[in-house]
Amino acid sequence: NLSDKLDSLFKKLRGQGVMTEENIKEALREVRLVLLEADVNFKVVKDFVEKVRERAVGTQVLQSLSPGQQVIKVVQEELVALMGGSEDNSLDLAAKPPVAIMMVGLQGSGKTTTCGKLARLLKGQRRRPLLVPADVYRPAAIEQLKTLGRQLSVETFDSRADQDPVDICREALRYATLNGFDTVILDTAGRLQIDEYLMNELVRIKEAADPREILFVADAMTGQEAVNVATGFNERLDITGVVLTKLDGDAKGGAALSIRAVTGKPVKLVGLGEKLDALEVFYPDRLVSRILGMGDILTLVEKAQATFDVTETERLQQKLKKSQFDLEDFKSQLQQIKKMGSLDSILGMIPGVGKAMKQMQGAQPSEKELKRIEAIIDSMTPGERANHQIINGSRRLRIAKGSGTTVQEVNQLLKRFTEAQKVMKQLQKMGPKGLMRGMKG
Ligand code: GDP
Ligand code: MG
């Protein structure tokens, strides 16, 4: 995990003043490797690392942030910016119907499947799509699209393999106009490599159909050649966006970075499986997390938001800021954690929390333990709850008796509490996008 690696790398740096060429060299080498491993094009990586270097050098090493996180933050922000930041990546269908969407890409990249997925998506948005098979070279291609159409109850234009693909598209648009279809999805042929014949055909289809969107479909597994292929399609067709397929596999999705960097065209959708519902809107920050191996912070936040009591969390956060996290808060926190499910799986999603997690090991209480912990804390006086340090031997004995537990159990709880306090401090240090703030957002 990159974040962990940088963390230890930068341990030495803490409090050393500013980042210099020299002291961030190693970290940048790690960043470079991670990106190359994710199949980002080497030229793109080179430019990118240079940018991060420029931004990082001379920056103060903050006491409050772990330095590894500080570099990660720069890397992450720059990558998200490279992927288009928070710009609007939705499909542009605002034109007089029927609007044409043209799917292009190499053979096997997932064009036909994506046509089906898109038809389903549009149908869900109350549009009336027409699927158009314009790949007349592969014998089974027309049938493949028809099958998808049947599954979706979406009409597939009745094209024949002996027709010219350009004529098919022209006729399909006329048919759509006459029959009230508002969106026409053109499934075109692919090749194993870019060739002139195919490109000419696609250019002619573009001229005939005047598509509002030309989506370049790219397999996320595509390695270094993604750049050349994307450039080839973009130069001839001036694509409007990218669909990154097969992101459900092992691919880290570095191809998306390369494509975006060289074409400047946004990734609009991602394919996450063979099924027709496996198409999603693209979120740059998620892809970046995936590439950096940082865990999916957003998933964490969503999960946390679903179960966490927001006002309670805000209250805790305020107390954390003032370092007033006390036993009462500890109790409330344990109850919340319980609601959130496995602590390991939650913390595992946060970058750089590996160490904190180990400290917390065993902190996730069972139902029975939680009851006992509650009983013990309830047996304390308000003063003791607010300041555990006053809980001496005789107080411990009294609390044990009051809660029907033993002094060892009271000791154990106090130990856990101080560990949790430490962890909470660490989480608090996670920077502006720290855990608590994320949950609030
Ligand atoms: P085309 O030649 O570009 O039309 O590609 P197809 O749509 O025929 O897809 C090629 C193969 O990739 C098929 O086996 C699809 O099921 C599979 N495929 C397409 N998209 C995805 C995806 O997002 N995830 C996975 N796992 N498989 C996909
Ligand atoms: Mg196909």
Q: Domains, the chain, ranges and CATH?
A: 2-82 (1.20.120.140), 99-292 (3.40.50.300), 297-440 (1.10.260.30)
d(CA 222, CA 229): 10
- Cα of 14 vs centre of ligand 1, distance in Å, is 48
Separation of alpha carbons 122 and 145, rounded Å: 16
Cβ(248) – ligand 1 distance below 6 Å: yes
Task: Take residue 205 and report the two structure tokens written for it.
Answer: 């289809």
Ligand in closest contact with the CA of 109: 1
C-alpha closest to that of 182 among 253, 121, 94: 94
ipTM above 0.90, yes or no: yes
In this structure, the number of other CB atoms found within 10 A of the CB of residue 330 comes to: 24
Give the integer Cα–Cα distance in Å for 408 and 361: 19
Q: Is 272 close to ligand 1, i.e. is its CB under 6 Å away?
A: yes
Cα 266 to Cα 129: distance, rounded to the nearest angstrom:
23
| Angle, CA 111 vertex, CA 105 and CA 114 arms, to 5° | 140
Q: Which of 113, 132, 147, 192 to mutate to test the pocket of ligand 1 (most atoms within 8 A of CB)?
A: 113
Is residue 28 within 8 Å of residue 98, measured between CB atoms?
no
As a whole number of Å, the end-to-end CA separation of the chain is 26
By three-state DSSP, how is residue 219 classified?
strand
Cα 441 from Cα 332, distance rounded (Å): 20
Write phi, then psi, for 371 (nearest 5 degrees).
Answer: -60, -45
* Closest C-alpha to ligand 1, atom 6: 110
> Is the C-beta atom of 105 inside 6 A of ligand 1?
yes
CB of 190 sitting under 6 A from ligand 1 = yes
Alpha-carbon distances, residue 68 vs 31, 62, 331, 353, 432 (angstroms): 11, 11, 32, 12, 14
Question: With a 6 A CB cut-off, is 109 part of the ligand 1 pocket?
Answer: yes
Task: Decide: 85 in ligand 1 pocket, CB within 6 A.
Answer: no
Which of the 8 DSSP states describes residue 99? E
The whole-angstrom separation of Cα 417 and Cα 404 is: 19
pLDDT tens by residue, the chain, 441 residues: 555 655 555 555 545 566 777 767 777 887 888 888 888 888 889 999 998 888 887 776 554 454 555 666 778 788 888 888 878 889 999 999 999 999 999 999 999 999 999 999 999 999 999 999 999 998 799 999 999 999 999 999 999 999 999 999 999 999 999 999 999 999 999 988 888 999 999 999 999 999 999 999 999 988 778 889 999 999 999 999 999 999 988 787 888 889 998 999 999 999 999 999 999 999 888 888 788 765 444 444 344 444 445 555 566 666 666 667 788 877 877 776 666 554 444 554 444 444 444 444 444 566 777 788 888 998 999 889 888 999 999 999 999 999 999 999 999 999 888 887 776 666 666 543 444 444 433
> What are all long-range contacts of 44-49, with beta carbons under 8 Å and residues at least 24 apart?
44/227, 44/257, 44/258, 44/261, 44/262, 47/261, 48/78, 48/79, 48/82, 48/261
Contact 224, 41 (CB under 8 A): yes
Residues 6+ apart with CB under 8 A from 207: none
Q: How far is the CA of 108 from the centre of ligand 1 (A)?
A: 6
- Would you tell me the crossing angle of helices 407-428 and 310-321 to the nearest 10 degrees? 90
Q: Cα(44) to centroid of ligand 1, in Å?
A: 27
